[in-house]
Amino acid sequence: MLRYIYGHDLQTFPELRDGMFRDRADQFKTRLGWEVSVDDTGAERDAYDGMNPLYVIWEEPDGSHGGSMRFLPTTGQVMVNDHFGQLTGGVPIASPRIWECTRFCLSRGAGSHVAAALMLGGGEIMENFEVDHFVGVFDARMVRIYRMIGSSPEVLGSQGQGRDQISVGLWQFDPTAKAAVAERAGVTPQLSRQWFDRSFGVSRTQNLAHTG
């Protein structure tokens, strides 16, 4: 199932929290060789984890972390503006209706349905928080994954060639895309909304105000 958890609430879900940060270290440091910081517990965190982001986390039936991604409004500090401005021609992306998605992570052995479910969760955020687009930086390996999920971005800018290419993309989520992603995830739109409402219910706009 999907859970939507703000950074300041992660302590309520210690198994998911610890599994997410360990799996991030495994994916980004061990498998991809990125220059990220891993602490003595084997967890990968960065400064943006301290900004009370909203995490979308796939929880496996045994309660473990299956995959996750992180969202922050572009009205505050975000990675695309702080570190990848060259990909947007030096023009900052800042709008209350555009959020940044980062740290798309899948645990080892996670099925393709997990990646699709995470994208479906992103679509729920768009629909319920009045977000028009997500922006994010991605590398060449993700192009195939996005295409497989059925949610490919509009590319705003790229640098590098082949497997070393990185790009910044802009996602939107119309009903056609939602239907395709939901089918790939094996999750009905009704169940997806149920998971979202379980996390937020009628107070979701109040939670939104606390982000950032």
Span 1-24, mean pLDDT?
97
What is the tens place of the pLDDT at every residue in 131-190?
999 999 998 888 888 888 878 889 999 999 988 899 999 999 888 888 889 999 999 999
pLDDT at 208 exceeding the cut of 90 = no
Whether the predicted pLDDT of 86 surpasses 70: yes
Instruction: Say which residue the tokens 């039936």 belong to.
Output: 61
Write down the pLDDT at residue 206. 46
Cβ contacts of 202-206, under 8 Å, gap ≥ 24: 204/128, 204/129, 205/129
Decide if pLDDT at 69 tops 70. Answer: yes
Tell me 28's DSSP state.
Answer: I
- In CATH, 2-200 is 3.40.630.30: yes
pLDDT of residue 111: 86
Pairing between β-strand 54-59 and β-strand 2-6 as defined by DSSP bridges: antiparallel
Domain ranges of the chain: 2-200
Which two structure tokens, joined as six digits, stand for 141?
């390996």
Q: What is the largest CA-CA distance in the chain?
A: 46
Sort strands 65-73 and 98-106 into parallel, antiparallel or unpaired.
antiparallel
Contact present, 105 and 20 (Cβ < 8 Å): yes
- Phi, psi (degrees; rounded to nearest 5) at 207: -60, -40
8 Å CB contact between 118 and 103: no
How many whole angstroms separate alpha carbon 152 and alpha carbon 136? 12
Q: Is 57 helix (H, G, I), strand (E, B) or coil?
A: strand
Under DSSP, is residue 199 helix (H, G, I), strand (E, B) or coil? helix
Average pLDDT over residues 11-21: 97
In Å, how far are 114, 155, 156, 162, 178 from 143, measured between CA atoms? 16, 11, 14, 11, 18
Q: Which of 121, 154, 123, 163 is nearest to 136 (CA)?
A: 154
Residue 29: is it exposed, middle or buried by C-beta count within 10 angstroms (0-12/13-18/19+)? middle
